[in-house]
Structure 1
Amino acid sequence: MHFQLKFINHQAILIMTKRAFIGERIKALRKQNGYSQSLVAEKLFISQAAYSLIENSQNGIAVDHIINLSKLYNVTTDFILKGDKYLIRIDPSNGFIPLIKASAHAGFIKNFHKENSFEVADWYRIPGFNPAYEQKLFEVAGDSMTPTLLSGDVLICQDQPKIDNILDGSLILLVTESGILIKRIRLDNNTDFLLLESDNQLEPDQLKKIRKSEIYQAMVVRGKISSVMIPHHQIASKGKIQNMEEAIDFLKKELFKLNRKLSSLEK
């Protein structure tokens, strides 16, 4: 019996010690941010007196309060509970972007209109890339955009709420009820439809129309990550094509100058 009481007292001391450390940490965070107790209490939907008891280690702290404090101070819940400083907060503010794999496309569409539209286990940081909010990574499935995009490539996509502001020829990813489309947009005077083009010359329907009302979300493709290495002979061919394009641009400029001279002579 004596041993049991001693054990219970030891547990009580540990709980009080943990409370004291938590109270000290949230007090320090409050002061660092220049907040009053009443302001923090308002954020937690409790009275200032109730918050004061938590901060002074006289009362325990609820899980909801820990989560809300972590959001308020932009720290991890582990820092509030245990003081761990070296855990990484995985969200866009720290450079992480969620990846929606090809196998998760259907689930992403199904849950799109829910409050938490999707859950992803994969978040990534891309070296040398500073992501913006409303960006996502999508894994390419299919070959409709070959050779521009290959199945398995990962696209960096940026939300574009105003479809009409997207530039002609841009690569876009559309989330629709029937699936996820990755196409090239072509400007069209029709206000109800969007004209889409495939880069794959073997596609039977290279141009297709889709109703704008069927689109849940339009995203502009900002870049891609590919594991495919270009063979050396293809690099050489690309270099020749680039030289030809530069030569054509030069000829165009010269022709433009000649036309201007001819026009001035005719006057």
Structure 2
Amino acid sequence: MKEEISNRIKELRKKHGFSQRYVAENLFISQAAYSLIENSQNGIVADHIIKLSGLYDVTTDFLLKGDKNLIRMSLSNGFVPFIKASAHAGFLKDYHMENWEDPYEWFRIPGFNPSQNQKLFEVEGDSMAPTVLPGDILICQTQKKLEKILDGSLILLVTEEAIIVKRLKLQPDPDYLLLESDNEEEVENIKISKNEIREVMMVRGKITGLLVPHHEIASKGKIRALEEALELLKKEVFKLNKKIAAMSN
């Protein structure tokens, strides 16, 4: 088995075009010590297996046993970490830890092209109803440049104390973000200092279990038709007023 493991890590190193020195530096050992591992003269410890798994983006089972049917769940393989509502507090607590992603579930989303800066958040609370509802899952992407966020964009803020989903309302104060809710019952906007913000994420989409009943779709269609008719009536009244004003002159 030792020889098989040595052959696999040697093949992976050559496939990625890495030198023995480079791999040895990642394992925090000398090149000579690493060379002995590749040549099956020395065994390999668990810590090195884990580091090589991350370096080559393969499973530890592949390195140890050659199993190829196991997919390593990582950002580079199209998986996105999912932070449930019940895990929000833990996420905030471990935010600065190197391995904060380990406790979370990972998912692939059909039709969604993930990147290194994306996460899934389960919504709690109804401050953004009816746009997003409790239990909806938001697909979020980190936005490091605030000036690129358009007025009215739906964003998720990670602060020292909370995870907040709101709309960004542009305002002249450069030191604060002004946030507003889609829920008509919450009329007051929230003002947050930029110094309190750990991360700003754009909401790119959502996954929901809610289906709109057929009668609501029909009602919305009627309302939309009434709104269009009212807009047309306003234009006709405006034209008529212009004609009356011209006749008066």
1:156 and 1:36 map into 2 onto residues whose CA distance is 38
Q: Distance in 2 between matches of 1:252 and 1:72?
A: 65
C-alpha distance in 1, partners of 2:134/2:106?
20
Is 1:33 equivalent to 2:16 in the alignment? yes
Cα–Cα, structure 1 residues 47 and 253, in superposed 2: closer, same or farther, change >3 Å?
farther
Change (3 A) 1:248 1:28: farther
Alignment partners' CA distance in 1, 2:131 and 2:153: 12
Partner of 1:165: 148
Deviation at 1:42, TM superposition (A): 3.5
Structure 2: where are the runs of 5+ without partners? 238-249
Give the root-mean-square deviation of aligned CA atoms.
Answer: 2.7
Structure 1 residues 49-128: aligned runs within 5 Å: 49-117=32-100, 119-128=102-111
Per the alignment, do residues 177 and 30 of structure 1 end up closer, same or farther by CA in structure 2, a change over 3 Å counting?
closer
> Residue 134 and residue 247 in structure 1: after superposition, are their counterparts in 2 closer, same or farther (change >3 A)?
farther
| Structure whose CA Rg is larger | 1
- Shift of residue 33, structure 1, vs aligned partner: 3.0
Aligned equivalent of 1:233: 215
Q: Give the corresponding residue for 1:260.
A: none
- Alpha-carbon distance in 2 for matches of 1:77, 1:159: 30
Task: Give the number of equivalent residue pairs.
Answer: 239
Please point out which of 145, 168, 171 is paired with 1:188: 171
**Which residue of 171, 187, 191 corresponds with 1:209?**
191
Q: What is the SS of the residue equivalent to 1:156?
A: strand
Instruction: Give identity over the alignment, percent.
Output: 64
Unpaired runs of 5+ in structure 1? 1-17, 256-267
**What is the rounded CA distance, in whole Å, between the counterparts of 1:119 and 1:96 in structure 2?**
13
In the superposition, relative to structure 1, how do residues 190 and 36 fare at CA in structure 2: closer, same or farther (>3 Å)?
Answer: closer
Distance (whole Å) between structure 1 residues aligned to residue 235 and residue 87 of structure 2? 49
Q: TM-score, normalised by structure 1?
A: 0.79
Q: CA deviation at 1:127?
A: 1.4
Once the 2 structures are TM-superposed, how far is the Cα of residue 27 of structure 1 from its aligned partner? 2.1
Aligned match for 2:203, one of 208, 221, 224:
221
1:89 positional shift: 0.8
